[in-house]
Chains A and B, each alone.
Chain A
Amino acid sequence: MTMERKMAHTLVVLVEDKPGVLNRVASLFRRRAFNIESLTVGHTEQPGLSRMTIVVEGDDFAIERLTAYLYKLVNVVQVEDLTHTQSVVRDLALIKVQAPPESRTQIMQVVDVFRGRVVDVTNQSLIVELTGDVEKIDGFVEVLRPFGIIEMVRTGVVAMERGSTPLYVPLNGNGQAHPHPETISEN
Chain B
Amino acid sequence: MKLTGAQIVWEVLKREGVEVVFGYPGGANLPIYDAMLDYPVHHVLVRHEQGAAHMADAYARVSGKVGVAMATSGPGATNLTTGIATAMMDSSPTVFITGQVVSRFIGFDAFQETDVTGITLPITKHNYLVTRVEDVGPALREAFYIARSGRPGPVLVDIAKDAQQNSTEWQYDPAPLKLRGYRPQRHPLCRQVEQALELIAQARKPLILAGQGVLLSNAMRELQEFAERAQIPVAMTLLGIGGFPASHPLNLGMMGMHGEAWVNQSIQEADLLLAFGMRFDDRVTGNLKTYAPNARKIHIDIDPAEINKNVRVDVGIVGDLRETLQTMLEHLPRLDHSVWLEHIQEMKGESAVRDIQYLPPDGHLYAAHVIHDLWRFTGGDAIITTDVGQHQMWAAQYYRVDQPFQWITSGGLGTMGFGLPAAIGAKFARPEAEVWAIVGDGGFQMTAAELSTAAQEGIKVNVAVINNGYLGMVRQWQEFFYERRYAATPMRSPDFVKLAEAHGLTGLRVERREDVQAALETARASDGTVVIDFRVEQEDSVYPMVPAGADLHNMIRRPVRTAIVETGEDEL
Contacts and interface: CB of A to CB of B under 8 A. Distances in A.
B191 A74 contact: no
A27 B124 CA distance: 13
A185 B195 CA distance: 13
Nearest to A65: B309
Contacts of A65: 305, 308-309
Given A72-B305, A183-B189, A77 B316 contact: no
Nearest to B318: A183
A74 B122 contact: no
Contacts of A139: none
Contacts of A74: 125-126, 146, 179, 181-182
A53 B508 CA distance: 64
A77 B304 contact: no
B308 A179 contact: no
A183 B304 contact: yes
A85 interface: no
B5 to A, nearest CB: 18
Given A69-B305, A177-B185, A183 B190 contact: no
B168 interface: no
B117 interface: yes
Given A27-B121, A74-B146, A176-B183, A187 B191 contact: yes
A186 interface: yes
Interface string B177-198: 0111111110001111000000
Interface string A31-49: 1000000000000000011
Interface string A143-187: 000000000000000000000000000010101111110110111
Nearest to A68: B305
B307 interface: yes
Contact of A180 (B179, B180, B182, B304): B304
A182 B184 contact: no
Contacts of B255: none
| Interface residues of B, dominant DSSP | mixed
Contacts of A101: none
Given A23-B121, A27-B122, A173-B178, A180 B183 contact: no
Interface in B76-127: 117-118, 121-122, 125-126
B304 A71 contact: yes
Could you say which interface size class chain B belongs to?
20 to 34
A16 B307 contact: no
Nearest to A75: B181
Among A48, A64, A180, residue most surrounded by chain B Cβ atoms (within 10 Å): A180
B129 interface: yes
B304 A182 contact: yes
A180 B299 CA distance: 14
Contact of B180 (A16, A24, A61, A183): A16
A126 interface: no
Contacts of B192: 183
Given A27-B122, A31-B122, A183 B316 contact: yes
Interface string B135-150: 0000000000010000
A179 to B, nearest CB: 7
B303 interface: yes
Nearest to A66: B305
B468 to A, nearest CB: 36
A15 interface: yes
Contact of A187 (B178, B190, B304): B190
A179 B185 contact: yes
Among B117, B121, B180, B318, residue most surrounded by chain A Cβ atoms (within 10 Å): B180
Given A177-B183, A177-B185, A185 B307 contact: no
Contacts of A64: 308
Nearest to A48: B180
A16 B304 contact: no
Contacts of B146: 74
Nearest to A30: B122
Contacts of A69: 305
A59 B447 CA distance: 45
Contacts of A175: 183
A178 B184 CA distance: 9
Contacts of B183: 171, 175-178
Nearest to A185: B189
Interface of B: 117-118, 121-122, 125-126, 129, 146, 178-185, 189-192, 303-305, 307-309, 316-318
6 contacts: A71-B304, A72-B305, A74-B125, A178-B183, A183-B317, A187-B189
Given A71-B305, A183-B307, A187-B191, 6 more contacts: A49-B180, A68-B307, A74-B181, A182-B318, A183-B189, A183-B316
